[in-house]
Amino acid sequence: MGPMNTAKSLLVTAFTALATLAGWAGATSLARAADYEREERWAREVVPSIVVGDAVWLATPSRAKVLAILTLPARPAAGGVVVVHGLGVHPDWELIGGLRTGLADAGYVTLAVQMPVLAASASREDYSATMLEAAERIAAAVDYLRTKSIAKVAIVSHSMGASMANAFLARNAIDAWAPIGMFGPFAAPPREPVLDIVAETEIAPVRETAPARAVTLPKDACSRQLTIAGADHYFERRQKELVATIAAFLERAFAGRCATS
């Protein structure tokens, strides 16, 4: 079974368990929750096949080497973007590869980071145990970009990656956030401009929880919930439109044009 089919089958079983993030912070055994051998297999497959961008390695409290893919724009950077993938895949997987390279073409430094993965047989409940380690990796990616003197940093996250970013942002600040195909409510009132992107033909758990998020978005001039016509959960035929929409949002947010008048 290929990465796309594996991700789709696992995604269906994972969403119910992520209805809330209430228990993630209290877990004490999260440092070894991820399947590191599977991550290493991903890295051995992904790194030699990178065409655009370069592999870098991040250190976190739980793992000394976490794969990330750094992609630089051809012109002076307008800011940085941490790209967070969804369930059981890797930082150059289909949609994620399109996001990291497309946003780099739009003028942003992108850093797509490997999120914790579990064995293919993991139950839907199991992935909630990876939230703390995911937050460590997102923090390391943000710090990496900041050490490169990138003043403005955003997170762009897809599916379960949006849930992982949601947990991270409940306790941390960022300059902008674009969750794509997110499931469930915000873990805490967002403190940054948020572009909440939903596909026209979303899977049911995303579609059913989107209205509750819409009414809790920040009351600024940039935050909104947006439906992209003709797209499914994986944006297979709408990647260019998705990238352009996010790039326009980031341009406005990074320029400080989100404050209400």
To the nearest whole number, what is the mean pLDDT of the chain? 89
**135-150 average pLDDT score:** 97
Q: For residue 213, give the H/E element and its range.
A: helix 204-214
**149-156 average pLDDT score:** 97
Write down the pLDDT at residue 125: 66
Alpha-carbon distances, residue 72 vs 29, 75, 205 (angstroms): 36, 8, 35
Share of the chain above pLDDT 90, in %: 81
For residue 28, name the pLDDT band (cuts at 50, 70, 90): very low
Residues 194 and 225: their CA atoms lie apart, in Å, by: 8
Write down the pLDDT at residue 68: 98
pLDDT at 248 over 50: yes
pLDDT at 260 over 70: yes
Write down the pLDDT at residue 206: 95
Write down the pLDDT at residue 23: 40
pTM for the predicted model, two decimal places: 0.89
Q: Where are the beta strands (DSSP E) in the chain?
A: 54-58, 66-71, 80-84, 109-113, 153-158, 176-180, 195-201, 224-232
Buried b / exposed e over 15-46, threshold 16 CB at 10 Å, is beebeebeebeeeeebeebbbeebbeebbeeb
Write down the pLDDT at residue 129: 92
Question: Do residues 112 and 92 make contact, with C-beta atoms less than 8 angstroms apart?
Answer: yes
Ranking 1-10, 130-139, 182-191, 250-259 by mean pLDDT, the lowest is: 1-10
Write down the pLDDT at residue 245: 98
Q: pLDDT, tens digit, for every residue of 192-201?
A: 999 999 999 9
**77-91 average pLDDT score:** 96
Q: pLDDT higher for 4 or 91?
A: 91
- What structural domains does the chain harbor? 3-8+28-254 (3.40.50.1820)
Angle at 23 between CA 27 and CA 11, to 5 degrees: 100
Ranking 2-11, 54-63, 249-258 by mean pLDDT, the lowest is: 2-11
pLDDT at 77 over 60: yes
